[in-house]
Amino acid sequence: MTGERKAIKAIYFPNTVVQETVLADLTACFTSVETIQPFLLKVPEPMSAAIEGGFLTVCPVMADQEARLTEAFNAFQAFARMHGSKGDLKTRFVAWLEGSAETDDEKIASQVASLMKKGGNPGLSQKPEDLVFRAALFLHMAQQYDIESFEVQKDLKSLARTEKKLFQSLTGEASAHTKIDAFGLDTPEDYMIPERLAAWARLFLHGVVPEDSDKTLVWVTHSRPAMEHLLELAPLSSRSVHLHAIPTAKGRAEGTDPWKESFQERLVKALEDPDFRISDPLVEASIPFGGHRALLVTVHAVDESPSIFFGRAADLSPLPEFQRTLARRTLVVHLSA
């Protein structure tokens, strides 16, 4: 491709910890990707390698609040351990809901309601800095959960492989499915989507002002629930186009990736050319895709700025002053296997 063109800045959301398979998908579609964290976290090895290699950039939005966030997180963990013991109100309330509570626990519901009223704290600070801190704390809790969940999934996959090998060595036949396959693996990004998006949007719009006039901002996610939630909130209908990216054995010249270049070039046009109509194909079928697995790439275009589009998820009103510096169109790329 000839001529000078703007670079793409792909921003991954709403998860702040990226799995190995997700990193591979992102690498197949983009030259580089950015994400945010409240502060720099010790991340799984594949993500760490992507950061060291320069493909992934993590922006620590509240690095100066690391000590305070860590203290609050540890205090929450201690509280959870203390109130998760046998006989506490939370445990008895769950038993009451399940119908297995003792007779003297009939008043549990009123006890919980009373505690909730006391804990509601109508005087809770609504100052912007306090709202941002609470969002950062929630996001920190969520990413800790993600890391633990990814490790469990990794162990389960390893166990499934071992089970299949053992079955084959004992029977001489390949086992197509295991008990683990039947249950399926957990997907952390499916949990508390509105809360995750609200925390992510508040933190991003607070701490990452996109000032790169030489780059085009594109937003990327693997989470279908997150994508659906954002589109449901938007008052404007989005225009979408689907692209089936199928890996091919056809080789390409070393150091080049025509599919990725073509895809990114079309994204820039979709954002910056008012006469550009989003239409299929985004990439010609004859151009080989270098991904490790087949992907369905869906591009959604909404004619409003990213700060308004994402700020709505965090109920940000009024919006940050810098919203007018952002593009008038939001382009969100959803990748699914």
Count how many domains the chain has: 3
- Residue 167 banded pLDDT, cuts 50, 70, 90: low
Provide the CA 301 distance to its chain's centre, in angstroms. 19
Tokens found for residue 6: 């703007």
Number of other residues whose CB lies within 10 A of the CB of residue 29 = 26
**Per-residue confidence (pLDDT) for residue 180, from 0 to 100:** 47
Q: How far apart are CA 200 and CA 178, in angstroms?
A: 36
User: Cα–Cα distance between 254 and 249 in angstroms, integer?
Assistant: 14
Say yes or no to pLDDT of 31 above 80. yes
Instruction: Note whether 55 and 148 are same-domain residues.
Output: yes
Q: What is the pLDDT of residues 201-234, one digit of tens each?
A: 999 888 665 555 567 889 999 999 999 999 999 8
> In the sheet that 56-60 helps form, which strands lie side by side, from edge to edge?
56-60, 33-37, 7-12, 215-221, 330-336, 295-302, 239-245
pTM: 0.77
Q: Are residues 57 and 149 in the same domain?
A: yes
pLDDT tens column, 50-77: 999 999 999 999 999 999 999 988 887 7
Do the domain assignments include residue 328?
no
CB atoms within 10 A of CB 335: 21
Asked if residue 166 and residue 52 are part of one domain, the reply reads yes
Banded model confidence at residue 120, pLDDT cuts 50, 70, 90: very low
Q: Residue 108: pLDDT band by 50, 70, 90 thresholds?
A: low
Q: What phi, psi does 328 have (nearest 5°)?
A: -85, -5
Enclosing domain of residue 219:
1-63+126-226
* DSSP 8-state class, residue 122: T
Percent of the chain with pLDDT over 70: 66
| 22 and 162 fall within a common domain | yes
Which residue's structure tokens are 């004992």? 170
CA–CA distance, 295 with 284 (Å, rounded to integer): 15
248 within some domain: yes
Average pLDDT over residues 285-314: 89
* Residues 133, 110 share a domain: no
- Regarding whether 93 and 5 lie in a shared domain, the answer is no
Say what the pLDDT of residue 304 is: 85
Q: Is residue 94 located within the same domain as residue 170? A: no
Residue 145, pLDDT score = 84
330 occurs within a structural domain? no
Backbone angles phi, psi at 291, to 5 degrees: -70, 165
Q: Is 217 exposed, middle or buried (0-12, 13-18, 19+ CB in 10 A)?
A: middle
State whether 192 and 303 are in the same domain. no
- Long-range CB contacts (< 8 A, 24+ apart) of 113-122? 115/89
**E strand or H helix that includes residue 182:** helix 179-183
Please, how many CA atoms are within 13 Å of residue 117, restricted to the half-sphere of its CB?
6
Beta-bridged to residue 247, according to DSSP, are 289
| Residue 327 counted as domain residue | no
| Tokens 């990226």, located at residue | 18
Q: Provide the residue type at 295 as one letter.
A: L
